[in-house]
Amino acid sequence: MPTYHYGNRVYRSSRRSHRRRQPSSGPSKKILSIVLIVLLAAGAGFGIYKGVGAVRNWVHSVMDDDPSSPETGAAQASGSAQESEAESVEADYSPLIKTADAMALQYDYDGAIALLKQVEGYENSRQLSEAISRLNNARTGLVKTDITKVAQLSVKTLIADTTAAFSSGSKETLAANYLTLSEFQAILQQLYDNGYVLVSLHDMAYTDANGYFVGGGIWLPANKKALVLSVEETGTLEANAGLGLARRLVIDEEGNPKSELLRRDGTVATGDLDVVPVLESFIKTHPDFSYKGARGILALTGYDGILGYRTAAKYSDHAHPDYKPAYDRIDAEAERTGAIQTAARLKELGWEFASHSWGHLNMAKASLERIQDDYSRWKDQVESLIGQVDILFFDNGTDIGNWRSYSAENEKYAYLSSVGFRYFCGVDLTTIPWVQLSTSAGYLRQGRVTVNGTQLITYPTRVEPFFDAGSVTDPARP
């Protein structure tokens, strides 16, 4: 009877051997033969059945074997080998590296490298090691900026509808003090082409962890130049309604700032119609125009509201001397909510706010008491909506001192410093750029170069280092 091995177990076949038998004679033998044949057939069938059952039982016993059995140990060893092989395959860090490269594109190499080094065991990753090495090599080519050579360009709300603006009775004033939408777009492109990169005043100087006011370290490629951009008033003042200026900033469903423009026919257009949305769209296309996410400074007053929202007290206080019955149709609470939400989103995007004083005050002529009263209104009506600011813009051509450093004896400076102002921006069109840093007193002063129709047409050489005035001037100008 042949035998078959299944694993370590031995089973015998149910098949009978085929040894030749001697023939028999007689009926009894024939009957016996028939009985034997029947018995043999039955036995064979039973044997096959038992054999199949035995094989089935063996398979189940193997599948259900104790984990300590040799077969199970071999399976576990095979599984461990597969797991080790899977672990040896490096994780895909390309999304993280893409984020780091985006940071480096805005010159934040330190932040990009730190991001990659947050991965535990980054030294053992070929992807991360190569990316860190590449970023380190690029960083070695950067040059530290001399912050005293950083200029600031300052614009106002843009003329979005030239037909409405230049056909109005205020066309001369508008043409002198404002840029058109197309002019600003052309200026941005030339600034970018000429190697300028937007930086923050807080990149130029800041208060360190020890409480000292120190000069900042702006590191850029050798062919790039730092530049601060600011905007005086964003949104239409009540007096300028209907003159072709975007009336206010709004945030769309995707979180992007856009401007609303009230047209002559009463319809409202929404889009890239003022400085903020135009610059946001430009940076999306040219992220290397921004140093570590810097945008610009929005210098606000408060006497007529902020960002185009009617948040001033006169719109809701019937006892206010400037209140008008027509203001009753204004939902003052909704206006304040809109301003708060818009300002919060702008800060998230990298925009900074500055005080242009509550009442557009000439601080050179104003008394200390008047300055204190103005700041009190600013704090109540503007700071309550946008948060505290440390940047102060002076009215055109004015300052609280001369070109010499501020001193403790300057009572206006002492007061403004005491309420938190550290950055002071006047207008200087003679020395471009003009920067004064005092680490001992703890402030930074910077002269602003106002960019408007007057500079483009009458004094184009003032803006010559930045862009070509003739090529950007809108032919729609009167």
Q: How far is CA 67 from the centre of its chain?
A: 54
Same-domain pairing of 132 and 237: no
- Output the pLDDT for position 228: 98
Distance from C-alpha of 451 to C-alpha of 230, rounded to nearest angstrom: 10
Distance from C-alpha of 249 to C-alpha of 261, rounded to nearest angstrom: 10
Structural domains of the chain, count:
3
Q: Which residues contact 396 (CB under 8 A, 6 or more apart)?
A: 427, 450
Query: Last residue of a domain, which of 103, 121, 140?
Result: 140
- Output the pLDDT for position 76: 52
pTM exceeds 0.75, yes or no? yes
What range defines the domain where residue 102 resides?
94-140
Run of H or E residues at 115: helix 109-117
Run of H or E residues at 469: helix 469-472
Each residue's pLDDT expressed in tens, for the chain with a length of 478 residues: 433 333 343 333 333 333 333 344 444 444 334 433 433 344 444 443 444 344 344 434 433 444 444 444 444 544 454 544 444 567 899 999 999 999 999 999 999 999 999 999 999 999 999 999 999 999 999 999 999 999 999 999 999 999 999 999 999 999 999 999 999 999 999 999 999 999 999 999 999 999 999 999 999 999 999 999 999 988 878 888 889 999 999 999 999 999 999 998 889 999 999 999 999 999 999 999 999 999 999 999 999 999 999 999 999 999 999 999 999 999 999 999 999 999 999 999 999 999 999 999 999 999 999 999 999 999 999 999 999 999 999 987 899 999 999 998 999 999 999 999 999 999 999 999 999 999 999 999 999 999 999 999 999 999 999 999 999 999 999 9
- Output the pLDDT for position 336: 97
- Output the pLDDT for position 151: 98
Same-domain pairing of 46 and 165: no
Both tokens of residue 289?
A: 């125009």
Run of H or E residues at 189: helix 181-193
Same-domain pairing of 220 and 360: yes
Kindly list the distances between the CA atom of residue 246 and the CA atoms of 154, 163, 174, 242, 451, in Å, as whole numbers in the listed order.
Answer: 18, 13, 13, 9, 18
Question: Nearest-CA neighbor of 353 among 232, 211, 215, 185?
Answer: 232
User: DSSP characters for 254-307?
Assistant: TS-EEEEEE-TTS-EEEES-SHHHHHHHHHHH-GGGBSTT---EEEE--BTBBT
**Sign of the C-alpha dihedral, residues 284, 288, 289, 293?**
positive
Same-domain pairing of 109 and 244: no
Domain membership of residue 477 (yes or no) is: no
Same-domain pairing of 136 and 184: no
SS3 129: helix
- Radius of gyration (C-alpha) of the chain in whole angstroms: 41
Whether the Cβ atoms of residue 466 and residue 155 lie closer than 8 Å to each other: no
Domain membership of residue 101 (yes or no) is: yes
Same-domain pairing of 127 and 227: no
Question: Nearest-CA neighbor of 475 among 242, 157, 166, 154?
Answer: 166
Query: Last residue of a domain, which of 88, 113, 132?
Result: 88
Domain membership of residue 424 (yes or no) is: yes
Domain membership of residue 185 (yes or no) is: yes
Domain membership of residue 167 (yes or no) is: yes
Domain membership of residue 478 (yes or no) is: no
- Pairing assessment for the beta strands 196-198 and 205-207 based on DSSP bridges: unpaired
Same-domain pairing of 58 and 195: no
SS3 401: coil
Q: Which residues contact 217 (CB under 8 A, 6 or more apart)?
A: 144
Domain membership of residue 247 (yes or no) is: yes
Query: Last residue of a domain, which of 72, 88, 104?
Result: 88
Same-domain pairing of 136 and 158: no
Same-domain pairing of 136 and 149: no
